[in-house]
Amino acid sequence: MIGRPVGVHGTGKYVPERILTNQDLEQMVETNDEWIVTRTGIKERRIASEQEAASDLAYEASRIALENAGIGPERLGLIIVSTMTPDVACPSTACILQERLGAKNAAAFDLSAACSGFVYGLANGANFIASGMYDYVLVVGSEVLSRVTDYTDRNTCILFGDGAGAVVLGPTEEGRGFLSFELGADGSGGSLLRGGCVGGSRYPKESDLPEGMTPHIWQNGREVFKFAVRIMETLTESVLAKAGKTKRDIDLLVPHQANIRIIHAAMEKLELSEDQVMINVDRYGNISAATIPIALAEAVEEGRVKKGDTVVLVGFGGGLTWGGAVLTW
C-alpha cells in the first residue's frame, strides 16, 4: 500500500431468519443430505423473505459494522456495495443504502465482480483512504441469490444462500492494516459461471435468451472447481509475497465459502490447520460477495483474530475473477 496505512475499524453481518436445510431440499429436488454434505460441506443456508432485497440485508450488516467501529454514518466519505443481485439497475444499491443509513456526506456506487466482489471493494476503498481522498469507507457484500437460483436444478440449488457482511475502513497506526492486494480476471472463462442474465442490455427479457441459456445461476461445476482449487493456492502465495510474507506467516485465512472441498484442497497445499482457516460454509452455503465479510465478522465475534495477526482474504468467482488481500490486524 502506498500512502497512509488503512485498517478495518468495524465488522458486521446479517443473515435472514429463514433456514433452508438439506432435508428441506430433499422435498424439492432429487437429492439427499449425505450427497450434499459429501460434495459441498453445506448443511443449511439462509433465504431472504419476499420483502427483503439486497439493500435491506446490507443495511442491517452496515448498521452493526458502524456501531462496532464507533463511526457515525455522517462521517463516511464513500459507500461501496459489491453485489450481483442489486435491488434494481438504477439507482444503485449503494445509493439506496446511503439514504437509509443517513450517510449524507458519502459518495456511493455498486461494484460487480461476483464472488470476488468484496475484495475488489476493499482494494478500492483502501486506496481511496490511503490517497487521502476519504477518511472512512463502508464496504459491503450483499446478495439475495435465492432470486436467481433455479430450485429445480439439484446441481446448483444446493449451493446458494442469502446474506450480507460489511466493514468500515479507516486510517490506522503504522505497522497495522492492509499490506497488499491482488486482483485478477480472465474473461475467456466468463461462460463457465453465469447468473442473473435477464434485465441487461443484451437480454432485456427472458424471451431474448438464446436457446439453452437460463436466467438463473448456472455453472460448469467441474471446470469452476479446477479453477478455484488452482487460484486459491497461487493467489494466496502471490498476495503474501507482495506483502513480504509467506504461508508460514498466516494466522487466519478467510476464504470465499464456495465448497468445503475447495477450502480443504487449499488448506493442504498451503499446509494450514483448521485453526488457521475460517469456515462457515456448512451454515450459510455460497453467498457470493457476502461470504468473506460474513466469515470475517464471525471470526472477530469468536475472538479468532487479535492485534498483530496476519489475516489473508481470498475470493474467486464469475467473470472469471479473483482477489486477495493481506493485512496486519
The CATH number of residue 226's host domain is 3.40.47.10
Residue 150 is predicted with a pLDDT of 87
Examine residue 164 and state whether it is found in any structural domain, yes or no: yes
Q: Which domain does 150 fall in, by range?
A: 6-172
Q: How confident is the model at residue 113 (pLDDT cuts 50, 70, 90)?
A: very high
Nearest partner of 97 among 126, 128, 139, judged by Cα = 139
286 is catalytic: yes
Residue 217 is predicted with a pLDDT of 72
- Are both 264 and 166 inside the same structural domain? no
Examine residue 67 and state whether it is found in any structural domain, yes or no: yes
Which among 22, 95, 256, 259 is annotated as catalytic?
256
95 is catalytic: no
264 is catalytic: no
pLDDT digits (tens, 9 = 90+) for 212-257: 666 677 666 678 788 888 998 999 999 999 999 999 999 999 999 9
> Cα(228)–Cα(174) distance, rounded to whole angstroms?
34
pLDDT at 198 over 90: no
> Cα(101)–Cα(90) distance, rounded to whole angstroms?
18
pLDDT digits (tens, 9 = 90+) for 130-172: 999 999 999 999 999 999 988 998 888 899 999 999 999 999 9
- Are both 130 and 106 inside the same structural domain? yes
Contact 206, 216 (CB under 8 A): no
> Cα(247)–Cα(36) distance, rounded to whole angstroms?
31
> Cα(10)–Cα(25) distance, rounded to whole angstroms?
35
What percent of the chain is predicted at pLDDT more than 90?
78
Least confident of 51-60, 210-219, 277-286: 210-219
| Mean pLDDT of the region 110-131 | 96
Which among 9, 22, 115, 216 is annotated as catalytic?
115
The model's pTM is 0.94
The partner residues of 142 in beta bridges, in order of sequence, read: 164
Residue 222 is predicted with a pLDDT of 78
The count of domains in the chain is: 2
